[in-house]
Structure 1
Amino acid sequence: MTTPAPKTAAAAPFDPHDFPGDLVAAQHTEAELYADLHAFQKTLPWSRESHDGWPDEAERGRERRGRSASPGWTSEQAAEFDRLFVALRRAAAAVGATSGGSAASGRASRARTWSPPAWRSSMLRAPFPRHGRTSAPPPNHRLGPGYCPPGPSPHKG
């Protein structure tokens, strides 16, 4: 006996580019806020608070560029930056919630289902997999080229 095909498959074939409209709108909003924030950041001084800066330094071939003095941001600039940043974070959270849940719930579910990688669990089961050994090598086992046990060298002539 075979399973009949679902009736909706014939009505609407799968379209990988058919995204929900609310997800696309949330992504556009996030992209616009991201562009606005970075365009605004380019107009700001490099330091939020006033800073004296530091000179160029060259030490043994390593160069560190200096910074000129920064007057700091005005209260209006800081308020506008904070407003854009909060709006961007909220838009990113909206995209995460629209695309299948919040980021926090995704992290929580991954944390509950975490298991060690396959190579790690296999190493825990068989600690000495090389050459078919199932137990630890003997204490006087030579560990490789250049290994010399403590004490007098057996190679001196």
Structure 2
Amino acid sequence: MNEDLELSVTRLIDAPVDVVWRVFTEQTNEWFCPKPWRAEVDWDLRAGGRSSTVMYGPNGEENRMDGIILEAIPGKRVVFTDAFKGDWMPQGPFMVGIFEFSDEGGKTRYTGRARHWTDVAKQQHQAMGFADGWSKVAEQLAELAEKAKAEA
């Protein structure tokens, strides 16, 4: 793996993995993109499953991302790519996305990774605001999971 082509964020969430996973899968539209943007996420969380996301901006922007789930291990990891759309139709690849969850003493270490085919794609993702955007998404996931833990 060429780590020079990877961007990542990590966050320790004060909730157990099962709670974070439940929020990750059941409240995806609430955490998936930084507010004031909103998302409509449709993931078939199994290898070969469809990944479809539409993000809507506050000024009418619309960003559609279709892809394929490559791996889905409940409570552990989800891997997806935009290199293909439905029925394994190739499309211009931008990245492989990875969401990972691990237990750290009853809390959850969440890591979001974006692996790129080229340095140009990585630089484009950085310029799009990867660090701020994916960090905000991790923060929103953490807030929802910590609230769910408190309400349990």
Tell me the TM-score range normalised by the shorter chain.
under 0.3
The structure with the larger Rg is 1
Higher helix share: 1
Which is richer in strand? 2
TM-score (norm 1): 0.25
